[in-house]
Amino acid sequence: MEDGRLVVLLTGANGFVGQNLTPVLKRNGMIVRQAVRKPSPDATSIMIGTIGPHTNWAEALAGIDAVVHLAARVHHPREEHAADVYQSINTDGTLHLARCAAEAGVSHFVYLSTVLANGSSTDGRPPFRENDVLTPRGVYGVSKAAAEAGLQAMVEYTSMNFTVIRPPLIYGAGALGNFKRLATAVNKGIPLPFGCIQNRRAFLSVANLASFIVHRLTHQHGKFDIFLVADEEQISTPEFVRRIGKGLGKKSRIVPFPLFALNALFRISGRSEAYNSVAASLEIDMSKALKTGWRPPLSLDEGIRNALADPTSRTQSTRSP
């Protein structure tokens, strides 16, 4: 603690989630130290270089109360063969940081994992839960699940507490990936071939994720807790596109397209794994997170409006309840 304020080390501070989380932590009275890979003019930043099993964390962890570990090697379809890269950063790098944090006297380690540790689809099965037998998909999901297992093993020989968060697709201001592609297509009036999809998927506003992280940092927590976190409303892919159109003030153009043809289209384009992220269901059971007393401060529609709005006009409902 510094002047009675929690001191938090944030990795991945320059990424999409980190840029949205940093001001929320500060608004909730925390002191944020940012671990960055490259030199930064920010006086609160400490350059640590590439995260891996040999990163020197000594300076960054001095005087830290809690670590929020966001940094990771994210999914790159063209690098599915490079399992060693994901292993080095997402698994070995995470466990090395956690060990260093425990040795430095850090009390709480918050790890941003992924729902892909559970699997890629809930078609034909109940929503994912924290205690499911994990069936991770892809080298990214496998590397994250392995890191979770390693963190849980540390409970036996450290006094540090752990929170693992498994989010679905995170959207918000500055989001890349699927959300940006969908918003761009809707904004340009491009027809989307999703009319035959009848699924249900979980989504997570970055503001709601930030709120949950603050809640975990400021409330009593267990020795090792895993949480599936999402917006309260879970909807189909075409409905999500319609909500984006509503947020943009434009009519989305969704056309019927047979699922077998859509699947073939993804395979031809070299993105066969992406078919699941569009057409399959991915529902989560949020009951464990809600039992902590936390509630998502933003509805799905509010989260989408925030993601699409001018930065100066976004809702600031990001204090922990």
Please count the other Cβ atoms lying within 10 Å of the Cβ belonging to residue 315.
14
Residues 6 or more apart whose CB falls under 8 angstroms from that of 221 comprise 108, 161, 163
Please count the other Cβ atoms lying within 10 Å of the Cβ belonging to residue 242.
17
Active-site residue, from 86, 111, 140, 171:
140
140 is catalytic: yes
| Amino acid of residue 173 | A
Please count the other Cβ atoms lying within 10 Å of the Cβ belonging to residue 206.
26
Q: Strands 161-166 and 45-47: what pairing?
A: unpaired
Please count the other Cβ atoms lying within 10 Å of the Cβ belonging to residue 95.
18
- Give CA–CA dist 238/198, Å, rounded: 8
Catalytically annotated residues: 140
